[in-house]
Amino acid sequence: MTFHYTQVFLLAWILVFWAYYLSTYGRVEGKHERSVQEKYGIRATWARLFGLAFYGWTAVIIIYFFNYNSINWIWKLSFLDRDPVKFIALVAMSLALLLHVLFTVSVGRSIRSAIATGAKPKLVTTGIYRFSRHPAYLAFLAVAFGIFLSIPNLITLILLVYTSVVTYGHSVEEERKLLEMYGQEYERYRNKVGRFLPKLW
């Protein structure tokens, strides 16, 4: 059985991502969210929809690894099924993984300290947060775009649109939570730094 290089790359990528996530931020994310909900009464209604996108992309990658012809399911976008496009996809996903690592490094210490002491987490505005208010969400959008370019069909296009909508909705919800927690401190930060991409002025 032979594999296309995108099958191998995507499977390796998703395994590395889940291993890294579960050994770092994933270990404290649940505790942190429950703590915030208890202290501030803020419920993350978009979080489950956001999580479903992760599982959806994981399922797409696993199916693609074991069945390369799944790329042809339901209207393949043949004009995108080219090596230069797939190269762009692999670069985007590699940069997304790096961005996720930078996010974890920037925010991890603040969250671990808050869980250990019971105090409010310090607002993180350094590291990758100097350029993006939601670097983890930007990374996820880049991943979704990369997988879509690697497996360009109607299924992944729909999943890309779904991911974009729920990621934006989740970021808006996150902004409300952070304004509730940090008030003017977060408002000043928000005026300086772009939601996903750096502000150019």
pLDDT at 105 over 80: yes
Q: What is the pLDDT of residues 17-45, one digit of tens each?
A: 999 988 887 676 666 666 666 666 666 77
pLDDT at 194 over 80: yes
Tell me the two tokens of residue 163.
Answer: 């991911």
Distances from the Cα of 185 to the Cαs of 32, 84, 97, 146, 181, in angstroms?
20, 44, 29, 35, 9
pTM for the whole structure:
0.89
Give first-to-last CA distance, the chain, whole Å.
53
User: What pLDDT score was predicted for residue 188?
Assistant: 95
What is the DSSP-derived secondary structure letter of residue 153?
B
Distances from the Cα of 48 to the Cαs of 18, 41, 78, 105, in angstroms?
17, 17, 33, 24
Region at 183 (left for phi over 0; alpha for psi -120 to 50; beta for the rest): left
Radius of gyration of the chain (CA): 18
Q: What is the pLDDT of residues 48-60, one digit of tens each?
A: 888 899 999 999 9
User: What pLDDT score was predicted for residue 99?
Assistant: 94
Give the domains, in start order, of the chain with CATH numbers.
5-192 (1.20.120.1630)
User: What pLDDT score was predicted for residue 38?
Assistant: 65
Query: CA–CA separation, 89 vs 148, rounded Å?
Result: 8
User: What pLDDT score was predicted for residue 107?
Assistant: 84
